[in-house]
Amino acid sequence: MSIYRELGVKRIINCVSTTSPLGSSVTYPEVMEAMKEASTYYVATDQLQEKVGSRIAEMTGSEAAIVTCGCSAALTMAAAACIMKGTPLEKYRLSGDRPPQERGEWLTWMQKLPDTEGLRNEIVHQRGHLNQYSQALRVAGAKLVLVGTEKECASEEVGRRITDKTAAIAFTGLYASRGAPLEDILRISKDHGVPVIMDAAYTLPPRSNLKRWSSMGVDLVCYSGGKSIRGPTDTGILCGRRDLVNLAAIQMSPHHGIGRGFKVDKTQIVGLLKALEIFLSQDDATELAAREAKARFIIDALKSLSVVKDVKQVVPNEGLLRGWPVITFTLDEKLLGMSTHQVVELLYAGNPGIWVYYDHILYPGGITMNTENLLEGEELILVDRLKEILGSH
């Protein structure tokens, strides 16, 4: 913590999620060691991506993979690949044996996007799957064709919206319980010869999901490297069909296509691979048991406070959402003498600050605390702070 104290940056206890405003997750020491070693000399980025990508492809059960600058960048590059399918850009191949020669037709097509004139540029997207990260598809120049309502979408409606302008169908793993199921989307995509792009950032764990989507036939799968995998925060994985992954790689850094700004450093590529190896060496059940133990400790402490009501542990099951233990409770505001919002503000304002969910969609009107990212011993600090705030009132 010395560097943060020197900078005047306050430590946060994370009871929300692997969210970017808190740096996603805390990575493994072995990952940092691998990144340090990778920083000591030069390598060709294309060759490194190829070698690391082949290993990640094995781990994800896909034909090919590349490391991207986060899952959002993976979605943008997936859209770019699908839009450029069928163009002269397909004939180019990357090589790490010599400096890239970006000129002439190659450079022209590499820098075509986000101008999609004359190209298939529509991505069919269920309205119920629409979220903040859907914007990443638009960054490549895609036009989203929204179908269905926020809660429902008939599979037939998705099929009816596919035209000769359709580049892909989008699917969000987090909202898989809404609208047309993935199995139907894959059947429709094959009937029309249109690839499927899946945002799978929030589908890990279980670890089996790392291979599940490619094995089902999803053409391009996008994962976050900085969430449950605990790699560098600004890394992601784009895996799937070899032809589409190659089209994405041609348009991203170190090349000068739409993805030039999504630069991923050699140390990050190596770091993500190491994190993925560690992630796959661990066990879902053991990880869950450790989180549940912390949840029980916190719940027992909350039950001793008279102002706390309806405290319980729940396991969210929104579509393919990860099954972590989440604590929910409400407060007797009259007995407490302050509002729930004021309590949350006091948690935020402390040092260390404690971030929780208030009036979350999972538990409207109450407080939600996720144990996923509690570091060793932080449950003790959390309980002490809650007793200090709630007990004193």
Residue 336 clears pLDDT 80, i.e. is over it: yes
> For 216-247, how does the pLDDT look when each residue is reduced to its tens digit (9 = 90+)?
999 999 999 999 999 999 999 999 999 999 99
Assign 1 a pLDDT band (cuts: 50, 70, 90). Answer: low
Q: What is the mean pLDDT of residues 302-320?
A: 79
pLDDT of 318 above 60: no
Position 97 scores a pLDDT of 78
- 368, 356 Cβ separation under 8 angstroms: yes
Burial track 198-225 (b if 16+ CB lie within 10 A, e otherwise): bbbbbbbbebebbbbbbeebbbbbbbbb
Where does the pLDDT of residue 133 fall: very low under 50, low under 70, confident under 90, or very high at 90 and above? very high
Token duo for residue 217: 């036939």
For residue 321, name the pLDDT band (cuts at 50, 70, 90). very low
Q: How many C-beta atoms lie closer than 10 Å to residue 255's C-beta? A: 21
Task: For residue 245, give the 3-state DSSP assignment.
Answer: helix
Indicate the pLDDT class of residue 320, thresholds 50, 70 and 90. Answer: very low
Percent of the chain with pLDDT strictly greater than 90: 80
The pair of three-digit structure tokens given for residue 164, joined into one six-digit string: 């000769």
Which residues are CB-contacts of 322 (< 8 A; sequence separation ≥ 6)?
202, 203, 204, 205, 206, 228, 316, 372
**Cβ atoms 173, 221 nearer than 8 A:** no
Predicted TM-score (pTM) of the model is 0.93
For range 89-109, the mean pLDDT? 87
Q: What is the mean pLDDT of residues 107-119?
A: 96
Q: For tokens 């912390």, name the residue.
A: 294
Could you say which DSSP state residue 207 is in? T
Give the span between the Cα atoms of 220 and 182, in whole angstroms: 13
Cβ–Cβ < 8 Å for 324, 359:
no
Q: Please state the separation of Cα 361 from the chain's center in Å.
A: 19
Mean pLDDT of the chain: 92
- pLDDT for the residue 322: 58
pLDDT > 90? residue 261? yes
Q: How far is CA 189 from CA 94, 166, 213, 323, in A?
A: 28, 11, 14, 29
Q: What is the pLDDT of residue 365?
A: 78
Q: Which domains does the chain have, with CATH numbers?
A: 27-281 (3.40.640.10), 283-391 (3.90.1150.180)
What ranges in the chain are assigned the alpha helix state H?
2-7, 29-38, 45-60, 71-83, 104-110, 135-139, 155-160, 182-192, 209-216, 242-250, 266-281, 284-303, 333-336, 340-349, 378-386
Strands 308-314 and 326-331: antiparallel
Average of per-residue pLDDT across 294-304: 94
Q: Which pLDDT score, from 0 to 100, does residue 338 have? A: 92
CA distance 248 to 74: 9
The DSSP call for residue 174 is G
In the 8-state DSSP scheme, what is residue 259? B
Encoding tokens for residue 108? 């022209």
Distance CA 368, CA 330 (A): 9
pLDDT at 252 over 80: yes
Give the pLDDT of residue 324: 74
Residue-wise pLDDT tens digits, 162-185: 999 999 999 999 899 899 999 999
Answer whether 260's CB lies under 8 Å from 96's CB.
Answer: no
